[in-house]
Amino acid sequence: MATVSLKKLTKSYGPVAVVQGIDLEVADREFIALVGPSGCGKSTTLRMIAGLEDISDGLIEIGGRKVNDLPPRSRNISMVFQSYALYPHMTVRENLGFSLKIAGAEKEEMDRRVAEASSILGLDQLLDRRPSQLSGGQRQRVAMGRAIVRDPDVFLFDEPLSNLDAKLRTQMRTEIKKLHAKVQSTVIYVTHDQVEAMTLADRIVIMRDGFIEQVGTPDEVFRRPQTRFVAGFIGSPPMNLHEAAVDDGQLLFQSGERLPLPSQFKANVATGDKVVFGLRPDDIYPTGHGISSGEDADVHQMELPVTVTEPLGNETLVFAEFNGSDWVSRMLNPKPLKAGDRVKMSLDLSQAHLFSAETGKTLRG
């Protein structure tokens, strides 16, 4: 079990910098998710921690020990690959025990640890099969088993669930969470799926273009996004984000329509400021079909035309037109609506976000 610390970590291929001097402290036994769109540098960061990729500049410490130039085998980590990377010419048992065999472990010790890992992951029946005889989910479990057997300081996961179908993915997600509760070790988990990141991680690191945009608990990144990018990336369906100008205590949208300036931002903006206004679908709802979180005074009512509805059973996503584009709203306890209906909507402005149009940073004080 160990801490991981990255200091000014940089990776460039020639003139192209893919990771641009990131700093990150991962606490002992913490579950950290690196999330971001493809090409944001999250996988490269993970591979640098693993030692599979040379670092261009900066410092990596695992358990307080500098590991910059150590080969992967000397870092006491284990990694689960997106492709699983099981050894096809070995049985499940040999796959699980491979690292111990390389380390020259005794036969009894090897059997004991393989049995331990296989019972944690329910692989007992599969030990004598080869990877080609396993289903996707089983392979995934073997890959995790191989990681556990090593008893590493840090677990690294590189998009481990992205090759599974949706149902299995949800199931394995729960298993990974249980596993972390059981083995209690430091985990760094790379994914492009924000739902995976939100559900699994103690803290989420959102990356973009080789930089860290924000580090925070799932709750923090959801409720207090520091940048416009984070606001748009976290949450499903995504936050409604629209550019506006501050005009005399109001927000003036491009179409000429107006909304009151949310009171929590009044002190931080002045007339003429260009801003981006953000409101989550949860905070817009047909009046009477949602939950207001703030004072009623902060809830702005307006009538909007419905363009599309997407019923999900327990709730319906209602797309309503405002400022020339569709705003997603979430209707709880749904009532029948159809396109073209004009509906009275409630906008819970106490939950609204404002970002600088120029820098993309939050305007929250």
Q: Which is nearer to other proteins, 72 or 260 (CB)?
A: 72
Closest CA to 45 of 19, 25, 26, 23: 19
| Nearer to other proteins (CB atom), residue 156 or residue 259 | 156
Nearer to other proteins, 73 or 182 (CB): 73
Q: Does 68 bind other proteins (CB under 8 A)?
A: no
Residues 173-192 touching other proteins, rule: CB under 8 A, are none
**Pairwise CA distance, residues 352 & 239, whole Å:** 10
Instruction: Please select the residue that binds other proteins; options are 131, 160, 216, 281, rule is CB under 8 A.
Output: 131
- Residue pair 230/40 in contact (Cβ under 8 Å)? The answer is no
For the chain, what's the residue count? 365
- Residue ranges of alpha helices (H) inside 24-135 are 42-50, 92-102, 107-121
The residue among 51 and 286 lying less far from other proteins, judged by its C-beta, is 51
Site track 73-112 with other proteins (rule: CB under 8 A), x = hit: x---xxx-x-xxxxxxx--------xx--xx---------
> 313: left (phi > 0), else alpha (psi -120 to 50), else beta?
left
Q: How far is the CB of 151 from other proteins (least distance, A)?
A: 12
Q: Does 50 bind other proteins (CB under 8 A)?
A: yes
21-29, 134-142, 208-216, 350-358 -> range binding other proteins (CB under 8 A) = 134-142
Residues 103, 107, 108, 111, Cα dihedral to 10°? 80
Q: Specify the residue, 45 or 316, whose C-beta has the smaller distance to other proteins.
A: 45
- Amino acid 314 reads N
Q: From the list 11, 139, 169, 192, which residue makes contact with other proteins (rule: CB under 8 A)?
A: 139
Q: Which is nearer to other proteins, 14 or 256 (CB)?
A: 14
Strand residue runs (E) in the chain: 4-13, 16-26, 31-35, 57-62, 65-66, 77-80, 154-158, 186-191, 203-208, 211-216, 240-247, 250-253, 258-260, 274-279, 284-286, 299-311, 315-322, 325-332, 342-348, 353-356
Contact between 132 and other proteins by CB under 8 A: the answer reads: yes
C-beta of residue 148 within 8 angstroms of C-beta of residue 183: yes
Task: Between 141 and 353, name the residue whose CB sits nearer to other proteins.
Answer: 141
Q: Does 287 sit near other proteins (CB under 8 A)?
A: no
Out of 11, 93, 113, 150, the residue judged to bind other proteins by CB under 8 A:
150
Q: Does 136 bind other proteins (CB under 8 A)?
A: yes
The region, left, alpha or beta by phi > 0 then psi within -120 to 50, assigned to residue 163 is alpha
Q: Which of 127, 164, 183, 198 is the binder for other proteins (CB under 8 A)?
A: 164
Give the residues lining the site for other proteins (CB under 8 A).
50-52, 71-73, 77-79, 81, 83-89, 98-99, 102-103, 130-136, 139, 146, 150, 163-164
